[in-house]
């Protein structure tokens, strides 16, 4: 815990010292000169326009995505899913075909009766 505390204290002290040194070493005239050079530089202004246009394009593309689906009732109804595991059994042997068909028919009957109850 002492290493973390020392690290945290060092970060705070370093940031404070950097801010104080920056504000004392650089006067307002130099800052204004740098800002004016940036505003007068055509390449930087062109780059800024390209950046702004790019961000607008990205914002428009993100706005065109469909919204999240609020109705997740179909995702929660896993009981309605019929899993056909007939590949693990030989369908032609010992009446498995009738058993599989009966299972599927029963699943369809349950699904149709539930749909009629929900409506």
Residue 60 has a pLDDT of 87
Residue 111 has a pLDDT of 54
Share of the chain above pLDDT 70, in %: 61
Q: How many CB atoms lie within 10 A of CB 27?
A: 10
Query: What is the rounded average pLDDT for all residues in the chain?
Result: 76
Band the pLDDT of 70: cuts 50, 70, 90: low
Q: What is the mean pLDDT of residues 71-89?
A: 59
Q: Please tell me which residue, 27 or 108, carries the higher pLDDT value.
A: 27
If DSSP states are collapsed to H, E and C, what string results for 26-90?
A: CCHHHHHHHHHHHHHCHHHHHHHHHHHHHHHHHHHHHHCCCCCCCCCHHHHCHHHCCCCCHHHCC
Q: Please tell me which residue, 92 or 39, carries the higher pLDDT value.
A: 39
Determine phi and psi for 22, rounding to 5 degrees.
-65, -40
């Amino acid at each position: 815990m002492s290493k973390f505390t020392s690290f945290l204290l060092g970060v705070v002290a370093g940031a404070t010292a950097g801010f104080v040194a920056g504000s004392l070493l650089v006067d307002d005239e130099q800052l204004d000169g740098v800002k004016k050079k940036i505003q007068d530089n055509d390449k930087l202004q062109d780059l800024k326009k390209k950046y702004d246009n790019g961000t607008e394009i990205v914002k428009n593309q993100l706005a065109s995505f469909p919204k999240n689906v609020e109705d997740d009732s179909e995702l929660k109804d896993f009981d309605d899913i019929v899993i056909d595991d007939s590949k693990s059994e030989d369908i032609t042997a010992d009446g498995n075909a009738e058993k599989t068909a009966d299972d599927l028919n029963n699943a369809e009957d349950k699904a149709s009766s539930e749909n009629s109850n929900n409506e």
